[in-house]
Amino acid sequence: MEPRISLVTLGVSDLQRSLRFYRDGLGFPTTWDGSRGVVFFQTGGCALSLYPHDDLAKDISAEFTGPRAKFSGITLAHNVRDKTDVDRILAQAAAAGGKIEKPGQDAFWGGYSGYFSDPDGHLWEVAWGAFPIREDGSLEIP
């Protein structure tokens, strides 16, 4: 297996609400508007998709249907080039309907970060200072 993540899919309870959050609120570009039952966003290095939670669970196995836990053990991260971008993006997420779970603050690892959740509770870390960011937006992990 090549060391690559091609697509991250988030199971969502309301596809159109999530489309508006990511496209209109956070500015993620898409050409798929959900009319085909799925939304795709082109991001740097990997794509993000939104798919109805119950349909995604059924696609995996009947064992996965039912209520979701508040914390699944997975977070998504958006690393930024400037420390001030952390608070700006957290505010943008809140204005779009997200919830600030942890405001931006100095982190134990020497950087600055905070967390927001999207309308379905998917957690995003916004972080500065962890790793250098290449010109194309990908991380350089030394």
Give the CATH number, domain containing residue 36: 3.10.180.10
What integer pLDDT is reported at residue 98 of this predicted model? 97
**Longest C-alpha distance within the chain, in Å?**
44
- Torsion sign (Cα): 98, 101, 104, 110: negative
Residue 120 to residue 51: CA distance in whole angstroms: 12
Are 76 and 115 within one domain? yes
What integer pLDDT is reported at residue 86 of this predicted model? 98
pLDDT along the chain (142 residues), means of 10: 85 96 96 90 89 87 74 88 97 98 95 95 93 87 81
Whether the model pTM is above 0.85: yes
What integer pLDDT is reported at residue 59 of this predicted model? 79
What integer pLDDT is reported at residue 81 of this predicted model? 95
Are 6 and 40 within one domain? yes
In a domain, 109, yes or no: yes
What integer pLDDT is reported at residue 116 of this predicted model? 96
Number of domains in the chain: 2
Q: Among residues 41, 68, 95, which one ends one of the domains?
A: 68
What integer pLDDT is reported at residue 4 of this predicted model? 80
What integer pLDDT is reported at residue 92 of this predicted model? 98
Single out the residue of 103, 137, 140 nearest to residue 28, CA to CA.
137
Residue 133 to residue 81: CA distance in whole angstroms: 7
